[in-house]
Amino acid sequence: MTVTIDRATGKRRGDRTPRPGLGRRLKDGYQKHWYAYAMIAPVAVVIGVLVLYPLGYGLYLTLTDANSLNSARTIGVNEIEATYKFVGLDNYADILWGPTAYDRFWSHFIWTIVWTAVCVGLHFFIGLGLALLLNQKLRGRTFYRLVLVLPWAVPTFVTVFGWRFMLADQGIVNSALDWLHLPTPAWLEDTFWQRFSAIMVNTWCGVPFMMVSLLGGLQSIDNSLYEASEMDGANAWQRFRYVTLPGLRSVSSTVVLLGIIWTFNQFAVIFLLFGNTAPDAQILVTWAYQLGFGQQPRDFAQSAAYGILLLAILIVFTSFYRRWLNRNEQQLAN
């Protein structure tokens, strides 16, 4: 029942009064595809109302100087009209080039890139290593697998608090380090160690997803490929390089993309680990949230502008990533 876009409309044009143009095309399209449109209508409405409309409104807010003091609000019985005004692209200019732009935007930007790269790298390599180990014939394999998935199974907002207890000044981690006569860093206070612990906690949370997906990918690689390569005299490294890695391509390109998007947007870990206490360890998402909701007065316009910038970064990145993947695939095909 696949409906294809064929050229039937063009043929019929001669029979009726020739009326080419948008109206006609819409009408034909409607007759031909009305059930497809009826089926996507619910989602189209939801996306339009809940995503595109707020997005447009947010875009408008970024062009104003809206904050919690001049927005429409109700205090008791008094309704106060919004008094913010249009300022054009000032917010973007201020964020990107304004005074102290480095401290407000670029330092967080760099940290976000580092954070994303390090976290996804660690997720991927630890996940791949564990998946390779779990893919062997091994006693207790199912048990290991179930335990290793635990960080994913428990909600993040629960585990992050567990980590907070552990990393507290005299928590178990520092007690253990002290017992071993190692230095005991201030995990949740010192900027470097804040960043370190954020990456550590996020790595801990994110490895299981990579591990399980990559394990699925490994199990789908045809065993006869390994036999054939062994017959050809490939050693363990060569089999890994020329059979395992290519076999994992489609799975890993997907999970790496998902991982990058999720890590870039990761809110819960940093927000719950530090609250408002760590301005230097905030990635762009949590920083935007701080501007909009974690301070007084709430700077809605700047926060929304950060949001738009973030979305722009992600869209640009994703389209380059997909293009790069497509090109690689074509090269392989040739």
Partner 1 sequence: MSTSTAPTQAPAEQITAPTAPPGKVRRRGERSRAASLASHGVLTVASLVALFPVAWLVYLSLGPDKNDYLHPGRIWSKMTFDNYAFVLQDTNFFDWLKSSLIVSLGTTVIGVLVAATTGYAVSRMRFPGYRKLMWVLLVTQMFPIAVLIVPMYQLLSELQLIDSYFGLILVYCSTAVPYCAWLLKGYFDTIPFEIDEAGRVDGLTPFGTFFRLILPLARPGLAVAGFYSFITAFGEVAFASTFMLSDTKYTFAVGLQSFVSEHDAQRNLMAATAVLVAIPVSAFFYLVQKNLVTGLTAGGTKG
The verdict on 36 binding partner 1 (CB under 8 A) reads yes
Phi, psi of 79 (to 5 degrees): -100, 125
Q: Does residue 1 belong to the site contacting partner 1 (CB under 8 A)?
A: yes
Residues 227-266 as x/- pattern, contact with partner 1 by CB under 8 A: x--x--x-xx--xx--xx-----xx--xx-xx--x--xx-
Out of 95, 212, 248, 281, point to the residue binding partner 1 (CB under 8 A): 212
Quick one: tokens of 125? 């390599």
- Rounded to the nearest 10°, the torsion over CA 264, 267, 273, 277 is 100
Please report the DSSP string for 199-214 in residue order: HHHHHHHHHHHHHHHH
Is residue 332 part of the contact set for partner 1 (CB under 8 A)? no
- Which residues within the stretch 64-103 sit at the binding site for partner 1 (CB under 8 A)? 66, 71-73
Closer CB to partner 1, 152 or 193, in the complex = 152
The total of other beta-carbon atoms located within 10 Å of residue 62's CB is 23
Instruction: Give the total residue count for the chain.
Output: 334
Contact partners, residue 249, CB within 8 Å, separation at least 6 = none
Kindly state whether residue 120 participates in binding partner 1, applying the rule CB under 8 A.
no
Q: Which is nearer to partner 1, 93 or 172 (CB)?
A: 172
Among 119, 120, 134, 281, binds partner 1 (CB under 8 A): 134
Rounded to an integer, what is the distance from CA 210 to the centroid of its chain?
14
Q: Which burial class, exposed, middle or buried, applies to 31 when counting CB atoms under 10 A from its CB (0-12, 13-18, 19+)?
A: exposed
- What would the two tokens of residue 177 be? 């380090």
Q: Does 273 bind partner 1 (CB under 8 A)?
A: no
Q: How far is the CB of 3 from partner 1 (least distance, A)?
A: 5
Beta bridge partners of 80: 73
Which range, of 11-19, 45-53, 98-106, 181-189, touches partner 1 by CB under 8 A? 45-53
Task: List binders of partner 1 among 157-186 (CB under 8 A).
Answer: 157-159, 161-163, 165-166, 168, 170-172, 175
